[in-house]
């Protein structure tokens, strides 16, 4: 067990593989030096100086002079360098030289172009590079030169003739600045087909095989034989290991070294050499002497050996390379292989220290030791797992708890302010407010205590009593608020009543004062009215003058008096109404009018929140929250997520309670 | 050899009093002459009475006399040439007398003849001093055909005159006339013709071309005459060979090839027929004057033949080519020699033609079988076979040049003592009378050994007369393209399926059909004239089609 956060754990394991057995493998090791051997037929370029040419029929040594008279036949196939050099030497000596070249062959060699008598023909494929001159011929294949005996020389000549006359497509001759190719002219005769018994002949791919019995076999292009030869040289690689293993089990020694030889089967008494080609291939039946040299060459040491069931520890030396089946290259033994195993998910957090992969990935076959490394991953909350609804429900309970306490606290605080302002406004309430202050102080203390509690922390059993107590406090705060308001309202009404009485009294006094003046003004107005009326009567009773101007003046006078009468009547009427009104005001009794604002006030408009009345207790979950971690769920599955090793035990208990899987979060 | 002799002919135009006769259509005389021609070429009273029934004897005699007068017969009734002409043409001369305008020409080849004649009206404009001596008289009694109106024929029967003095009134003549005498020595034909323009009576000139006539000259006698005359400057005339022996130097390639030469002769004489200037003698047969000339000539022709048909040639074919170039030519009697192979390729004539050098060198250097020294040595054309100094290679048959082998001898060697059930001849060319004649001999020779032997022919010649071959062999030939596709053989092959024995065959450097009999009607045992033939025994080294045939497949 460990401490701190729950994280992934890195683990490793080391395995020793020295005793491992490789089913099949090519093993390259430093080969012992090849014993020096003087060969006469199979010569290697640079490595062996060619002996003086031998007159094959008589065995006598002839001078190595270029041909001057007899024609020289040259094939310029692959590895044509030596043959081309010999061609030029013979041609410069004056010999008539006939050359076969592959399609597209050309030359800018001024020495060759300057030679007077070289006839070159292109054929679809030149099977080999070689030179035939009077009584002797030799072929080149890679670094090797094979001297032919008399029968082979003649057969090679026939192969040359058959290609030259029957297969040529274009021809050109030297003597100019360049070779001017033209279509090959028709042959002058038929060249007989080279009989199957000929020691040198072209064979179709279907006949391109070698006799492997008791032979040392060197394969360059041919497929593996079905029967086991004595010794098989085949290019080391990652293929055909099963067939090679079968040949080894059948008694063949399978080796390889880069000798540069073509396909070759050699026994002490004969052999066959098969040169490469895309179509027909040149097959050379070796003489006993040639085959003997080839057999001794193939019996020599080789860098590569094909092994079946090799113990790995036996080939762990420096410099040794192995080529395993299916691989594209050889490689050395690897001292230790590091293998990173895939992360392993622990079945539970508690067993993470002991968790290992169920299976071990195989190491590479050439690993001498192998070190596995892997990471143990704790059980993790799965993607998509969301917070469990229990948390939401408890959070709602806690939020309601907190909000109600907050509102209660604000109400009590508001009541305190209200109480202060009342005290400052209404001195008559001072004694009553003292009682309110004590009640309020006790309620605030209780709220402060409750704010430290959370229903979710106390669980489903303790939460309902807490809400019941909260409801009591809310009721108490509401009552306090109401009492304060009642006291305030009563004080305000008293104050308003006194104010209204003072105003009523002032109005009566003013009316009484104004009534005397108005009565005097009425008397004056009535007098003026009577005078006007009288004057008007007089006017009306006076006779109509004759004079037009006097009549006109009299009418004007009449008009003026009429207007004055009307104006005086209005004044009298108005003053009479004022006097009546003033009398009514003086006699009016005092009536208290409660202040309209206080009557119209509604609870919602108060600046202080209304005290809460008793409320129903919230829906408290029947499950308590986990003691540690976070409960999540996906579908019907619940997960308890913990993050520290210290909470493991509590987490296990909590997880068992729900039930839920105990998991961690990936860091 | 051909020559055109030309000569300008002077034409005289005269007005003369003459007795003329124009040939007019007279069917009754034609009938009479034909009856006479069928009755011994004689007009007799019986003949006349047979032709003209109801005529009395006196009347018949009068008719004969009239015919004689006309010149159809003589006084005894014998039909004249004119009478025979009347029998052919139904045209008989109708005599008349008067003044005629005659255009007269004279030459040794055709004598004096009137080219044309016109009747003249008599006038009083003439003056006595205008009468002149007649330059020459036309051949009297000869039927002339007018060169102006070829349908018009006339006869100048007589030129009546006093005291035998023939006079005329000369007229201005602006007629041109040329004689062209063509001598074709090779074809043995000659003909002469007059052409030119005649001044017409109405004015102007009318071109004319006289219908050709022959003279019957012995041309080769004339050539021999010339050989000793103008031709002697060019060479020696060989009358027996009818050719001119000349030196090789100076001959053009074409003359060497054709054995003909064109010579320009300043003047030639034709005995009795005149002399002619500036004669071009075309295609004069020529031959070598000496043996060295023949040798150089033969080699030159041989090289040109190689150059014209550049191809790789085996030594055997080279020898055949040389023989083809020389044999049956004027060179053959001189027996020119083909140089030895080494001499040939070391020569310098092919220095600028490397393909010719390689065409000779490569087939010998790259022969599948060594070429025999005799074959590589010189070849003298026409010389009898020289005994081979080296034996034929093992399993080979060599028929030497001019070996005089009979076809039977060759077949015996080819069959090698076996009785053939079937033989097959593969030969590219089985056509032409010579080859088919040799094929006939070959078939006869095979069937002389085994009468029931089947004989097949495969040939590459698309123009082969299959019916003719089938008539000779009893089997229709097959074509190479059907048998070998595009891998037709070059050489000839003679394959044998013996009765009860393994099949075998021969690859031959030349065709047995190349042999030619010395005389017509020769049989299979008669000696033949051979060129080189070398046959190698083959078995399984032949191509697939022939191998299949040997193994009993194919047809």
pLDDT, tens digit, for every residue of A551-603? Answer: 888 888 889 989 999 999 999 999 999 899 888 888 888 888 877 655 445 55
Residue whose token pair is 């109801």: B54
Cis upstream peptide for A659 (omega within 30°) = yes
> Does residue A295 fall inside a structural domain?
no
Judge residue B370's burial from the number of C-beta atoms within 10 Å of its C-beta, 0-12 exposed, 13-18 middle, 19 or more buried.
exposed
Average pLDDT, chain B: 89
Is residue A572 located within the same domain as residue A514? yes
Contact at CB, A190 and B507, closer than 8 angstroms: yes
Contacts of A188 in chain B (CB under 8 A): 311-314, 317, 362-363, 490
User: Considering only CA atoms, which of B125, B139, B149 is closest in space to residue B200?
Assistant: B149
Nearest CA in chain B to A154: B368
Q: Is the pLDDT of residue B98 over 80?
A: yes
At a CB cut-off of 8 Å and minimum separation 6, what does B520 contact?
none
CA distance B171 to B175: 11
Token reading at B332: 């053959």
Residue A657 lies in a domain: yes
pLDDT, chain A, mean: 86
Cα B483 to Cα B496: distance, rounded to the nearest angstrom: 17
CB B277 within 8 A of CB B111: no
Please check whether residues A646 and A549 belong to one and the same domain.
no
Q: Poorest-confidence range of A163-167, A477-481, B224-228, B489-493? A: A477-481
**Is A451 found in the same domain as A480?**
yes
pLDDT of B317 strictly over 70: yes
A308 to chain B, minimum CA–CA distance in Å?
Answer: 48
Strands A72-75 and A129-133: antiparallel
Q: What are phi and psi of A606, to 5 degrees?
A: -70, 145
Tell me how far apart the alpha carbons of residues A554 and A540 are, in angstroms, rounded to a whole number.
Answer: 9
Q: Is the pLDDT of residue B492 over 50?
A: yes
* A191–B365 C-beta distance less than 8 A: no
Residue B486 has a pLDDT of: 84
B285 pLDDT more than 70:
yes
How many other C-beta atoms lie within 10 A of the C-beta of residue A71?
21
pLDDT(A432) > 90? no
DSSP bridge pairs for A373: A12, A340
List the domain range (segments joined by +) for residue A82: 38-200
Q: Cβ distance A529 to A568 under 8 Å?
A: yes
Q: Are residues A344 and A442 in the same domain?
A: no
Same domain? For A522 and A583 the reply is yes
Q: What is the pLDDT of residue A65?
A: 60
Q: Report the alpha-carbon distance of residue A282 to residue A264 in Å, rounded.
A: 12
Strands (E), B123-171: 131-133, 143-145, 153-158, 167-170
Q: What ipTM score was computed for the predicted complex, to two decimals?
A: 0.76
Report yes or no on A1 lying in a domain. no
pLDDT at B337: 93
Dist CA B30 CA B84 (whole Å):
9
pLDDT in tens, A66-93: 666 679 999 998 888 888 988 998 888 8
Verify that A437 and A579 share a domain, yes or no: yes
Residue where a domain stops, chosen among A153, A169, A200: A200
Contact A173 B363 (CB under 8 A): no
User: Using one digit for the tens of pLDDT, what is the confidence trace for A279-338?
Assistant: 899 999 999 999 999 999 999 899 999 999 999 999 888 889 999 999 999 999 999 999
Instruction: Show residues of chain A in contact with B362, CB under 8 Å.
Output: 98, 119, 188
Averaged pLDDT for residues A392-414? 90
**With bands split at pLDDT 50, 70 and 90, how would you rate the model's confidence at A53?**
very low
Helix, strand or coil, per DSSP, at residue B283 = strand
Tokens of B322: 């040389």
Segment 268-327 of chain B within 8 Å of chain A by CB: 310-314, 317
**Residue A439: left if φ>0, alpha if ψ -120 to 50, beta else—which one?**
alpha
Please indicate, yes or no, if residue A409 is contained in any of the structural domains.
yes
H or E, element range at A281: strand A281-286
What's the confidence (pLDDT) of residue A367? 93
Q: How many residues does chain B have?
A: 555
My answer on whether A590 and A632 are in the same domain is no
Residues A413 and A510 in one domain: yes
Binning chain B into helix, strand and coil, the percentages to the nearest 5 are 30, 30, 35
Q: How far is B490 from chain A (nearest CA, A)?
A: 5
Please give the average per-residue pLDDT across B399-416, as a whole number: 90
In a domain, A68, yes or no: yes
| Long-range Cβ pairs for the range B298-302 (8 Å, 24+) | B298/B322, B298/B325, B298/B326, B298/B331, B298/B334, B298/B336, B298/B337, B298/B338, B298/B381, B299/B336, B299/B338, B299/B339, B300/B248, B300/B253, B300/B256, B301/B256, B301/B257, B301/B325, B301/B326, B301/B331, B302/B326, B302/B338
pLDDT score of A630 more than 60 = yes
Is residue A109 domain-resident? yes
Mean pLDDT of B187-198: 91
pLDDT of residue B348: 83
Query: Residues A448, A558: one domain?
Result: yes
Tell me the nearest-neighbour CA distance from B522 into chain A, angstroms: 31
CB B413 within 8 A of CB B496: no
Of the pLDDT bands very low, low, confident and very high (cuts 50, 70, 90), residue A639 is very high
Q: Is A426 part of any domain?
A: yes
> DSSP of B506-555, one letter per residue?
EEESS-GGG-EESSTT--TTSBEE---EEEEEESTTS-HHHHHHHTT---
Q: How far is A61 from chain B (nearest CA, A)?
A: 25
- Check the CA dihedral B139-B142-B148-B152 and report its sign: positive
- Is the pLDDT higher at B362 or at A46? B362
Residues A354 and A456 both lie in one domain: no
Percent of chain A with pLDDT over 90: 41
Domain count, chain A: 4
Asked if A440 and A564 sit in the same domain, the reply is yes
Q: Which of A377, A406, A425 is the endpoint of a domain? A: A377
Residue B538 in contact with partner chain A when CB distance is under 8 A? yes
At residue A48, does pLDDT exceed 50?
no
Mean pLDDT of B466-470: 92
Residue A228 lies in a domain: no
- Using an 8 Å Cβ cutoff, are A632 and A664 in contact? no
pLDDT per residue as tens digits for the range A127-144: 999 999 888 899 988 888
CATH of the domain at A113: 3.30.870.10
Task: Please determine, for residue B96, whether its predicted confidence score (pLDDT) is greater than 50.
Answer: yes
Neighbours of B6 (CB within 10 A): 16
Q: Confidence class of residue A57 from pLDDT cuts 50, 70 and 90?
A: very low
Residues A122 and A79 in one domain: yes
CB contact under 8 A, A190 and B491: yes
Q: In A239-373, which residue ranges form alpha helices assigned H by DSSP?
A: 241-249, 288-298
pLDDT the model gives residue A604: 47
pLDDT for position A436: 81
Average pLDDT over residues B65-84: 89
């Amino acid at each position: 067990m460990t401490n701190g956060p729950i994280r992934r754990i890195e683990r490793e394991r080391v395995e020793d593989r020295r005793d491992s057995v490789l089913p099949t493998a090519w093993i390259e090791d430093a080969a012992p030096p090849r014993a020096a051997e003087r060969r006469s037929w199979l010569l290697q370029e640079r490595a062996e100086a060619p002996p003086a040419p031998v007159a094959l029929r008589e065995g006598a040594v002839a001078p190595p002079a270029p041909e001057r008279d007899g024609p020289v036949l040259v094939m310029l196939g692959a590895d044509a360098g030596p043959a081309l050099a010999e061609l030029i030497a013979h041609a410069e000596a004056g010999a008539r030289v006939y050359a076969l070249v592959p399609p597209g062959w050309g030359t800018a060699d001024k020495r060759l172009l300057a030679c007077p008598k070289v006839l070159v023909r292109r054929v679809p494929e030149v099977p080999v590079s070689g030179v035939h001159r009077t009584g002797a011929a030799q072929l080149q294949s890679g670094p090797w030169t094979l001297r032919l005996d008399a029968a082979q020389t003649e057969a090679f000549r026939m192969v040359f003739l058959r290609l030259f006359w029957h297969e040529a497509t274009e021809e050109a001759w030297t003597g100019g600045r360049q070779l001017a190719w033209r279509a090959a002219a028709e042959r002058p005769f038929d060249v007989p087909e080279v009989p199957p018994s000929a020691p040198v002949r072209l064979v179709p791919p279907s006949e391109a095989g070698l006799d492997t019995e008791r032979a040392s076999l060197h394969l360059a292009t041919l497929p593996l034989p079905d029967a086991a030869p004595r010794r098989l040289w085949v290019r080391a690689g990652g293929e055909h290991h099963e067939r090679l293993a079968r040949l080894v089990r059948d008694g063949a020694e399978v080796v390889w070294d880069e000798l540069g030889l073509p396909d070759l089967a050699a026994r002490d008494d004969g052999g066959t050499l098969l040169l490469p080609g895309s179509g027909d291939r040149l097959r050379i039946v070796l003489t006993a002497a040639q085959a003997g040299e080839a057999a001794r060459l193939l019996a020599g040491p080789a860098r590569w050996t094909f092994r079946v069931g090799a113990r790995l520890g036996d080939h762990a030396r420096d410099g040794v390379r192995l080529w395993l089946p299916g691989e594209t290259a050889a490689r050395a033994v690897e001292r230790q292989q590091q293998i990173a195993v895939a992360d392993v998910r622990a079945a539970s957090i508690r067993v993470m220290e002991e968790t290992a992969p169920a299976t071990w990935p195989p190491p590479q076959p050439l690993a001498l030791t192998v070190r596995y490394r892997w990471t143990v991953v704790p059980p993790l909350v799965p993607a998509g797992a969301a917070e469990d609804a229990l948390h939401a429900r408890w959070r709602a309970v806690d939020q309601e708890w907190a909000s109600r306490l907050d509102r209660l606290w604000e109400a009590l605080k508001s009541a305190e302010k209200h109480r202060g302002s009342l005290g400052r406004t209404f001195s008559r309430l001072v004694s009553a407010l003292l009682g309110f202050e004590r009640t309020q102080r006790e309620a605030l203390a209780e709220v402060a205590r409750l704010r430290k509690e959370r229903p979710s922390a106390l669980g489903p059993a303790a939460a309902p009593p807490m809400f019941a107590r909260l409801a009591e406090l809310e009721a108490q705060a509401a009552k306090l608020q109401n009492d304060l308001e009642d006291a305030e309202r009563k004080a305000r009404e008293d104050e308003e009543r006194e104010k209204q009485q003072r105003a009523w009294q002032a109005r009566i006094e003013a009316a009484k004062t104004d009534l005397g003046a108005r009565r005097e003004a009425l008397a004056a107005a009535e007098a003026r009215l009577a005078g006007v009326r009288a004057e008007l009567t007089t006017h009306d009773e006076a006779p109509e003058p004759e004079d037009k101007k006097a009549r006109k003046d009299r009418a004007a006078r009449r008009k003026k008096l009429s207007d004055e009468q009307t104006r005086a009547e209005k004044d009298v009427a108005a003053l009479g109404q004022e006097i009546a009104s003033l009398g009514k005001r003086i006699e009016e009794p005092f009536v208290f009018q409660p202040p309209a604002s206080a009557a119209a006030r509604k609870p919602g408009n108060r600046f202080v929140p209304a005290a809460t009345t008793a409320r129903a207790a919230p829906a408290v979950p029947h499950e308590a929250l986990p003691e540690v971690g976070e409960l999540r769920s996906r579908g019907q599955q619940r997960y308890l997520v913990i993050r520290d090793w210290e909470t493991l035990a509590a987490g296990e208990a909590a997880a068992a309670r729900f039930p839920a899987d105990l998991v961690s979060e990936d860091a | 050899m051909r020559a055109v002799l030309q000569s300008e002919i002077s034409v005289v135009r005269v007005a003369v009093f003459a007795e003329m006769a124009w040939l007019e259509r007279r069917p009754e005389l034609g009938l009479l002459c034909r009856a006479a021609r069928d009755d011994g070429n004689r007009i007799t009273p019986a003949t006349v009475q047979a032709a003209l029934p109801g005529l009395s004897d006196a009347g018949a005699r009068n008719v004969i006399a009239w015919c004689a007068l006309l010149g159809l017969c003589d006084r005894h009734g014998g039909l004249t040439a004119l009478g025979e002409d009347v029998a052919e043409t139904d045209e008989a001369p109708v005599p008349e007398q008067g003044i005629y305008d005659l255009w007269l020409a004279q030459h040794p080849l055709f004598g004096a003849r009137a080219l044309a004649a016109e009747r003249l009206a008599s006038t009083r404009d003439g003056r006595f001093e205008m009468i002149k001596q007649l330059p020459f008289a036309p051949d009297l009694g000869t039927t002339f055909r007018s060169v102006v109106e070829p349908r018009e024929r006339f006869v100048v029967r007589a030129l009546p005159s006093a005291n035998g003095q023939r006079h005329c009134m000369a007229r201005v003549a602006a007629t041109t006339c040329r004689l062209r005498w063509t001598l074709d020595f090779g074809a043995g034909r000659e003909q002469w013709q007059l052409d030119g323009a005649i001044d017409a009576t109405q004015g102007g000139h009318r071109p004319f071309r006289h219908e050709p006539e022959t003279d019957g000259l012995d041309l080769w006698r004339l050539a021999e005459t010339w050989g000793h005359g103008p031709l002697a400057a060019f060479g020696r005339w060989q009358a027996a060979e009818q050719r001119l022996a000349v030196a090789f130097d100076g001959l053009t390639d074409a003359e060497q090839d054709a054995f003909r030469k064109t010579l320009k002769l300043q003047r030639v004489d034709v005995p009795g027929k005149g002399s002619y200037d500036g004669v071009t003698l075309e295609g004069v047969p020529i031959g070598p004057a000496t043996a060295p000339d023949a040798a150089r000539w033969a080699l030159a022709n041989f090289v040109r033949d190689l150059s014209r048909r550049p191809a790789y040639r085996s030594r055997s074919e080279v020898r055949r080519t040389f023989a083809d170039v020389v044999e049956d030519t004027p060179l053959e009697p001189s027996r020119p020699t083909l140089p030895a192979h080494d001499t040939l390729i070391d020569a310098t004539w092919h220095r600028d033609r490397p393909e010719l050098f390689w065409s000779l060198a490569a087939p010998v250097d790259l022969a599948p079988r060594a070429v025999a020294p005799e074959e590589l040595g010189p070849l003298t054309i026409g010389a009898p076979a020289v005994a081979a100094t080296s034996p034929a290679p093992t399993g080979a048959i060599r028929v030497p040049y001019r070996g005089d082998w009979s076809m039977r001898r060759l077949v015996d060697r080819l069959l090698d003592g076996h009785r053939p059930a079937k033989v097959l001849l593969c030969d590219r060319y089985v056509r032409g009378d010579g080859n088919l004649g040799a094929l006939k001999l070959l078939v006869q020779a095979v069937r002389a050994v085994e009468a029931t032997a089947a004989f097949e022919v495969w040939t590459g010649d698309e123009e082969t007369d299959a019916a003719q071959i089938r008539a000779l062999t009893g089997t229709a030939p097959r074509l190479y393209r059907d048998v070998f596709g595009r891998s037709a053989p070059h050489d000839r092959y003679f394959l044998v399926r013996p009765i009860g024995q393994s099949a075998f065959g021969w690859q031959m450097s030349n065709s047995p059909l190349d042999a030619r009999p010395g005389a017509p009607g020769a049989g299979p045992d008669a000696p033949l004239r051979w060129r080189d033939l070398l046959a190698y025994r083959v078995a399984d080294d032949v191509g697939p089609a022939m191998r299949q045939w040997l193994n009993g497949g194919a047809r």
